[in-house]
Amino acid sequence: MEAITELLKQDIPSFIPGIFIVMSGVIAMATIIGKFSEIIGKPVRWVTHKNADHELLIRTANQLTALQERHEKSVAESNFYDEEMRKDIKKLTEMFVDKEINDMRWEINNFANKVSEGRPCNKDSFQHCIHTWEKYEKLLEENALENGEVEISMEIINEAYKQKLKEGF
């Protein structure tokens, strides 16, 4: 109890600046010792540890920079290849559409030729050809193309179909 009473008798406002002065002196001495040990080539353990941490931080920053550059390069290459794939897919799609259109034209024109030669055709063949023509027209519309090759063939097929419906198959 006497120790606490003795502590309370001390002048605390003057004691606090004294503590700060002592702490500043300790920090200054530690800095001087660290610099001196570096100069003579025999660094103290805590100076070596501080330097190792600094070097690790610099290495990590350099590695992060290199990683960022590789990432940016990788993204650029990926975008390039994506664009190339889009072009190739578009080209393949156009080739497929052209083939489909040509196949449908050939089928319609071939059937019209068969009808105009008077060869026998059943009702299912006519309906299949008319359905093919409808798909052909839809495909042309979807791809903003024009029909110019099968109109006469379809007129022949439609007239023959109407005639067969009247007379019977």
50-75 pLDDT, tens per residue?
667 788 889 999 999 999 999 999 99
Of 9-18, 43-52, 66-75, highest mean pLDDT = 66-75
Average pLDDT for residues 24-30, to the nearest whole number? 84
Query: How many alpha carbons lie under 13 Å from residue 25 in its C-beta half-sphere?
Result: 6
Phi, psi angle pair for 168, to nearest 5°: 100, 155
Neighbours of 80 (CB within 10 A): 10
Q: What is the DSSP string of 13-65?
A: HHHHHHHHHHHHHHHHHHHHHHHHHHHHT---HHHHHHHHHHHHHHHHHHHHH
Phi, psi angle pair for 121, to nearest 5°: -140, 135
pLDDT of residue 51: 66
pTM: 0.55
Q: pLDDT averaged over the chain?
A: 86
CB 151 within 8 A of CB 159: no
Q: Inform me whether the pLDDT recorded for 48 exceeds 70.
A: no
